[in-house]
Chain A
Amino acid sequence: MVDFLERPGELMEAYGQDTERKGFFTDTSICIGCKACEVACKEWNQNPMKGDLEILGSSYDNTGSLGANTWRHVAFIEQGQEQIDKARESGARLVGLGMPAFGAPETREPNTTEDLGMPEFGSPGVRIKNKVDNPPNPDTPEFRWLMSSDVCKHCTYAGCLDVCPTGALYRTEYGTVVVQDDICNGCGTCVAGCPFGVIERRDTGTIHTKPDRVDSRYSMDVKHKGTAKKCTFCFDRMVDGQTPACAQTCPTQSIQYGGREEMVDNAKKRVTAMHEKGLTEARLYGANPNDGVGGIGSVFLLLDEPEVYGLPPDPQVPTKDLPKMYKKVGIAAAGMLAAAATAFLGARKK
């Protein structure tokens, strides 16, 4: 059966350039929640402010969510012992499930000795006992603080891209998904198409502080108003061989940037190393090419179930079922024509 899924490889080849698919590995276990990525992204892309400054009452997260004006969002989650235990169990249960075998797993080398340039201990949290007392678990006995910098996933099968009727969304030669600002007509289909709630139409936004706004001398239009906006993977930097602003500014290497293969590799090594240390709450998100979106460009290492971070537990690109849906469209159309024909059977002018 035909499918309508666009694959990064095919399109990238069409460019006839020697480029590789780029990716992020966001290792949330070493994120310190400094939000430097959020700030760097805003500054580099000159994104407007979302609404007025507000305290959201969700730990240190006063950004809320990804959206038209927020392309990096740091999530903060405070958890007690019960959740820590649950996370550790649910992560342990994933062992043995999961990745399709790329070569037999048992022949894969253990990575304990390899220096990945990462800190010894993974989980964030405040260490109150000294290391010797509590070696394998840096969290306090009854509290941990999760921080995770979320971003567009640059999906292998991107729902936003598939459903875009204007072709404004396209696959770049680096395998990333980007909106062309001058093509998008703001129909909003992509917003519904994205399984992760990333892309959004820029309907609001301010670019000045309150005192400035009343002064018409400074009045300025919000860029690209009425069009769909999301992370561009810093395409403008990438073409110059630069690192995306968020990754470059990240002080802890929580956001790593590089070839996607390499990122997935790093992620696998990291999660294996953490499990070996007993930190079974660690798990990867988006590293599996068999998942509902064919794997994602920005792989994450999470310390709890994805829904805890506001990520869907089993996302599927809606286009996967499109052939089936078109079949229904066809049957429905034929049925309607048949019903109309039936209505005129036997009807004659009197």
Chain B
Amino acid sequence: MTLSEFDAYRPENEPRRKRRRNRPPGKRRGGGNGDGAREMPMVEDVEFADSYYGRPIVKAPPWDDKISAYLFLGGVAGGSAMLAVGADRIGFDKLRRNTRLTALGATIGGTVFLILDLGRPERFHHMLRTFKPASPMNMGTWILSSFGMGAGVVAAIEVDQLTGQKIPLGVLRKVVYAFEKPAALLAAVMGAPLASYTGALLADTSVPTWNGGKDNLSYLFVSSAAMASSGFALITTPTSQTRPARTFATLGAVAELFFSEKLTADMHPVEAEPLQTGRPARKLRWAQALTIAGGVGAALLSRNRIAAIASGTALATASMLTRSAIMEAGINSTKDPRHVVEPQRDRLAARRAKGIVDDSITTVG
């Protein structure tokens, strides 16, 4: 086995190391037994027509399920604020109180996860040193902050009333109470983009599976948010006041099922693959089953508190699983360069077939 004519000059006395085929990718060869005098071909398989030793082309962001949890809690917060405004209008006081408290709790939880995921958590506020529409992460932080203000005011009022005005607000109490309606409205209005901007946050990246989902991620995420927030309402609130939440849950569940199918259907098959294999696929299957179970439960089992709690839990869990599956599938899609190379080659070829030949990054002259 020779690679070049040079090998003919190799002294005979040293036996050539046996070349092993089909070495599992990523397995490293131990160093140490090569002396510089023997210029051995260092590579087993001389076929990399498609990639550089199978190494990733695009890097995965340093994100994990802390970010999935943030996506999930942001959705819960946004949906809860909407339910709270509706509940206030029709006088469902328990639903209003519980959803307001859920909204603030989820906001705080989500923010904590977001901060913990930073490389320099103490610099979190740097996100607010600029206003930059080109960055969905920056826009999201502004949305989250303004939402948090609104949600904070109304939740504070709820706690104040629950505890019999024990919060030491002093003269500020009047001011805070005066802002109840605008604050509630602010939270509901900002709650919508809070639930949907995360679609752009993931899509506006070079991660193949996320970028390939740019047409559907926002839709999927608001569906998931509607489902999860009403799930929480079903858990926390007695059945006499959950009818709107049940409708919201059912709408969310149906839309979630629809858009999670459409998400993969609209992608390049190689971009969709990470969602259809391994752990993300299992998570998505569970999410689907729980969405159906929870959705049906929310729609039909109206009177039974236990059934309502079970449905609500199923819906919230399904939402979390969906976020986590998409997070993991995205990370996985960066690991194999095939997910980057094949869709890109295909789109380049498609443009060339249409006669667009002046926009390739490789050119001669």
Instruction: Enumerate chain A interface residues (CB-CB to B < 8 A).
Output: 4-6, 54-61, 64-65, 67, 75, 77-80, 83, 86, 91, 94-95, 97-100, 105, 108, 126, 128, 140-143, 159, 162-168, 183-189, 191-203, 225-228, 268, 271-272, 275, 282-288, 290-293, 296, 302, 305-315, 318-319, 321-322, 324-326, 328-337, 339-344, 347-350
**Max chain A Cβ within 10 angstroms of own Cβ: one of B6, B83, B344, B347:** B344
Cα distance, A309 to B119, chains bound together (Å): 30
* CB-defined contacts of B178 to chain A, threshold 8 Å: none
Q: Do residues A77 and B52 form an inter-chain contact, with CB atoms below 8 A?
A: yes
- B184: min CB distance to chain A, Å: 13
* CB-defined contacts of A192 to chain B, threshold 8 Å: 58-61, 63, 205-207, 210
Q: Do residues B218 and A328 form an inter-chain contact, with CB atoms below 8 A?
A: yes
Kindly state whether residue B51 has any CB partner on chain A within 8 Å.
yes
| Contact pick for B364, options A59, A98, A167, A313, CB 8 Å | A98
| Contact pick for B82, options A283, A293, A336, CB 8 Å | A336
| Contact pick for B215, options A186, A199, A228, A328, CB 8 Å | A328
Q: Do residues A185 and B200 form an inter-chain contact, with CB atoms below 8 A?
A: no
Kindly state whether residue B145 has any CB partner on chain A within 8 Å.
no
Kindly state whether residue B286 has any CB partner on chain A within 8 Å.
no
14 contacts between A and B (CB under 8 A): A56-B28, A98-B363, A165-B127, A184-B120, A195-B206, A201-B119, A272-B365, A284-B363, A307-B345, A318-B204, A330-B193, A332-B196, A337-B188, A339-B248
Q: A77-B48, A97-B352, A143-B4 are in contact. Are A329 and B218 (CB under 8 A)?
A: yes
The 7 A-B pairs with the shortest beta carbon distances in the complex, nearest first, are A186-B119, A226-B119, A310-B52, A55-B31, A333-B192, A185-B123, A165-B138
Closest-by-CB residue of B relative to A328 is B218
Q: Do residues B211 and A310 form an inter-chain contact, with CB atoms below 8 A?
A: no
Q: Do residues B222 and A333 form an inter-chain contact, with CB atoms below 8 A?
A: yes
Q: Do residues B49 and A308 form an inter-chain contact, with CB atoms below 8 A?
A: yes
Kindly state whether residue B43 has any CB partner on chain A within 8 Å.
yes
Q: Do residues A313 and B358 form an inter-chain contact, with CB atoms below 8 A?
A: no
Q: Do residues B364 and A95 form an inter-chain contact, with CB atoms below 8 A?
A: yes
Total residue contacts A-B, CB cutoff 8 A: 385
Within 8 A of A (CB), among B213-239: 214-219, 221-222, 225-226, 230
Cα distance, A334 to B335, chains bound together (Å): 36
Q: Do residues B55 and A310 form an inter-chain contact, with CB atoms below 8 A?
A: yes
- Chain B, 88-122, contact with A by CB distance < 8 Å: what is the 0/1 string? 01111000000000000000000000000111110
Q: Do residues A309 and B199 form an inter-chain contact, with CB atoms below 8 A?
A: no
Within 8 A of A (CB), among B306-365: 334, 337, 340-341, 344-345, 347-348, 352, 357-365
Kindly state whether residue B161 has any CB partner on chain A within 8 Å.
no
* CB-defined contacts of B5 to chain A, threshold 8 Å: 128, 140-142
Kindly state whether residue B251 has any CB partner on chain A within 8 Å.
yes
Within 8 A of A (CB), among B112-153: 117-121, 123-124, 126-127, 129-130, 132-138, 140-141
Kindly state whether residue B15 has any CB partner on chain A within 8 Å.
no
- B199: min CB distance to chain A, Å: 6
Q: Do residues A314 and B365 form an inter-chain contact, with CB atoms below 8 A?
A: no
| Contact pick for B135, options A56, A165, A286, A344, CB 8 Å | A165
Kindly state whether residue B79 has any CB partner on chain A within 8 Å.
yes
Cα distance, A109 to B156, chains bound together (Å): 75
- B57: min CB distance to chain A, Å: 5
Q: A191-B61, A336-B195 are in contact. List 6 more A-B contacts (CB 8 A).
A: A55-B32, A126-B6, A159-B205, A199-B59, A284-B365, A337-B189
* CB-defined contacts of B53 to chain A, threshold 8 Å: 56, 58, 61, 310
**Max chain B Cβ within 10 angstroms of own Cβ: one of A95, A97, A324:** A97
* CB-defined contacts of A349 to chain B, threshold 8 Å: 90-92
* CB-defined contacts of B361 to chain A, threshold 8 Å: 285-286, 288, 291-293, 296, 306, 313-315
